Amino acid sequence: MEKMADSSDRNERSTALQWFLDPEWGGQASDKRVRTALRRVGVETDLEMVRRWRLALATWDSDLARRWVEGEVARGPLEEALEITKALQANRQNAGLFRRLVYHLVDPAPEKTLPVQVAAELLPLYARTLVDAPPGHLTAAHVAPLVAAFNHADGRLMLAAFKAFDEAMLRLNELDEDARTERVLAVFMEGGVDARLVYFEQALSAFSPRGEGALALQSARALQLHVARGHRDMGESSAAQRAWRFRALYLAGLAQISQGNVDEASADLRRALQLTDHALRSFGDVDIQGSDEVVSRQRRSEYLDVLQERVLALLALNLAEIQGGQGPRSDVCLQRAREAHRLHLQGQVLFAGLYGIALGGWDSLFDGRLSPYRLLFHGRRFGDGLTLGELLKMEFEIGRCLASVAPLELPGFEPYPVSHPSIGDPLEDPERRDCMGQIQMARLDRLAVEIDAMGERIGSVQSSPGTRVPEAEIEVYTRLERQRRILLRRIEQSEGSDRRRMLLDLRVPGRQALRLSRGLRAAGEMQRARKLIREFKKDLTGNGISDAWYYLGQERLARADLELGANLSDADKPLEAQRSLEAGTERLQAILQRLQEAGAGPKALEPYRDLLAGALVSLAVHANVRLGKPEQALAYYERAYALKQDDFMRVLLACYRARSGKVAEARSLLNSVAVAPSLYYNLACTHALLGDRDQAMFWLGKEFAENHPEPASLQRQRIWARQDPDLVSLRKDPGFQALVGGR
């Protein structure tokens, strides 16, 4: 094969390259294999083949390849160095290489200078390796490059440092190991990372995934104390300092809720609300639709942050009062929810003026890192506080409360009766109706600016003799004009008889009912979860929500189909589950086809491709375990893998390769992934198929111990494991029988 790699025939060289890159054919990256690749990089004339050889070298688990990569990244052409750097994340054995490269940031020697763009790409990869370090291997010195980037004069490196820190925290959440989290955060602080960041992340991780309210409260109080000492010497703005004070109080309030301390929670949250009240007053009469010359972009961005903080605090205070026995249907709670909705609309006005994006909805808030849905309602009880049942009840009540002030925005929840139409109907509320009008005008203003700019560009080209306007620019100009006409027509309609159209045009239906249904399923309340999903679908279609925006409406319905399918599969109703999963898959395929026909780019397609990949995986698993059709399962999975290749999909691919007897490829794939709790079950299946009994039992034990804190969820997973054909080799093992329980 080495001779073919050096052949004068391009087809033979391409075949050899394919052999070298395929883990099933080529095996591990031996030094001989690496030297062949290095030789081809130096002499190959086909640029695309050179590129593929270079990227292969970046992903191979070989010291020789890593030494070559280090030289290329540090001293090679910038474009090629960046491409190699991005490819490095495919190899999880590169911790030492990342360390040597990023240490250039703290080495003053000129020959050690690393291009800023390369360093910015490397830092997030490096941060994840810090988290993966074995106990005792991580020291404060390892954090030095991160601290150097935080303090770097180049803003790109500062942003990369924050991204790297976030990546480290995401990895900690993936691993969900309490001792590791505490150790890593302590070393980060010892290494010089801002203590506020560390306490903040400590509190977030205590909420989710750990479910430890007391630790969350302790971290929030430590953050509060640290903030109180002041950071004026750091040259921070008053807005930044106020934001830290808000976070400390808000997190403390949520932690008190998780502990059942209603009065203490209310006190902290009212103080957080006071901070936002004072901040909003300090802005005075801010023209949130003003141009950059009237009100600075930075000033309006700060205003938007305060609005979002106030909405969070209002919702959290409602949660405290719901927990304390004050019904969510009370005028106080409903008025607070109405104010939260008005402020959210006001933020949408501001966002439309800043970025030209006008669609809004509760999801944009609930998906944030400070959302109660992320911190309290994550499908897990608090070991030292609220049970899952209590949390699900609170989640249901806050859903009905919010649906009462904006019914079209939270399908699936029945609104409470309201004392006045201005509470229950945004179009009957002068303040909220005015906000929606401002959003429409902000959209028009943004389109006018874009149309004028494009018109000037086209005009300047047309005025130059012998030049033609590019077709792409004409298409953009035509599309913008069409959008403007459609928007004007809809504004006219909303001022006439079809007033609901304004709401449907501007506000996206939230997925909170689907979130709650997953929590109910985890708690074993299957029928109640199915009822909620069906109400969600009924509201989407019955109120015309799903038709207002084709892609968003169909995406919501597809998610509902998939969640219903998962529920029915867990309830051992395989044929009904199959129909529902197929319905969701067909909706997603239709969306993708329509987007592709419209010429949508990769970024527009990606979220729907990811959803479709997940739907196909669900069908594959269902076909294998519930229907006993492994060939059909493989067909579904191969379609999914063509759409997405992350660690989860790679482990599943290893499972399918092991199932078909391709042992070497399966083991190579397993070596290429970073282990996380979401992979435990499929790791167990793959090792069982490979004959690794001890490994299979180890991962299955971790799956049961760490991923199913609720008895109902654990029992379902045990039943699933007893039926899973991938684990058939373990069924007579006493250890397996002890893990999965009796029939």
pLDDT in tens, 402-447: 999 999 899 999 999 999 999 999 989 999 988 888 888 887 777 7
- Round to the nearest angstrom and report the end-to-end CA distance of the chain: 53
Paired strand residues for 507: 360
pLDDT, residue 459, reads 77
Collapsing DSSP states into helix, strand and coil, what is residue 283? coil
Is 22:3 a contact under the CB 8 Å cutoff?
no
pLDDT, residue 92, reads 57
Q: Counting Cβ atoms within 10 Å, is residue 319 exposed (0-12), middle (13-18) or buried (19+)?
A: buried
Q: What is the number of residues in the chain?
A: 743
Is the model more confident about 327 or about 520?
520
CA nearest to 554, candidates 540, 569, 539, 566: 540
Is 446:484 a contact under the CB 8 Å cutoff?
no
Residues 391-400, mean pLDDT to the nearest whole number = 94
Whether residue 78 is predicted with pLDDT greater than 80 in this model: the reply is no
Collapsing DSSP states into helix, strand and coil, what is residue 286? coil
pLDDT, residue 64, reads 82
pLDDT, residue 233, reads 47
pLDDT in tens, 243-263: 999 999 999 999 999 999 999
**pLDDT band, residue 23 (cuts 50/70/90):** low
Is 199:222 a contact under the CB 8 Å cutoff?
yes
pLDDT, residue 234, reads 53
Listed in order, strand segments (DSSP E) in 567-682 are none
CA angle 207, 169, 363 (to 5 degrees): 60
Report residue 385 as tokens. 């506080």
CA nearest to 322, candidates 376, 393, 379: 393
pLDDT in tens, 490-533: 666 665 555 677 777 788 889 999 999 999 998 889 999 999 99
Average pLDDT of the chain, as a whole number:
84
Look up the pTM and report it.
0.80
CA nearest to 345, candidates 409, 281, 282: 409
Nearest-Å Rg of the Cα atoms of the chain is: 28
- To which residue do tokens 């397993």 refer? 670
Residues 26-38, mean pLDDT to the nearest whole number = 70
Q: Which of 296-310, 359-373, 447-461, 593-607 has the lowest mean pLDDT?
A: 447-461
Whether residue 219 is predicted with pLDDT greater than 90 in this model: the reply is yes
pLDDT, residue 27, reads 43
pLDDT, residue 463, reads 72
pLDDT in tens, 124-160: 888 888 888 887 888 888 888 888 888 888 888 888 8
Rounded-to-integer distance, Cα 212 and Cα 617, Å:
33
Residues 591-604, mean pLDDT to the nearest whole number = 87
Whether residue 90 is predicted with pLDDT greater than 70 in this model: the reply is no
Q: Counting Cβ atoms within 10 Å, is residue 456 exposed (0-12), middle (13-18) or buried (19+)?
A: exposed
Collapsing DSSP states into helix, strand and coil, what is residue 679? helix
pLDDT, residue 25, reads 44
pLDDT in tens, 724-735: 999 999 999 999
pLDDT in tens, 177-200: 888 888 998 999 999 998 999 999
Counting residues of the chain whose pLDDT is more than 90, the rounded percentage is 38
pLDDT in tens, 664-711: 889 988 887 888 888 999 999 999 999 999 999 999 999 998 888 888
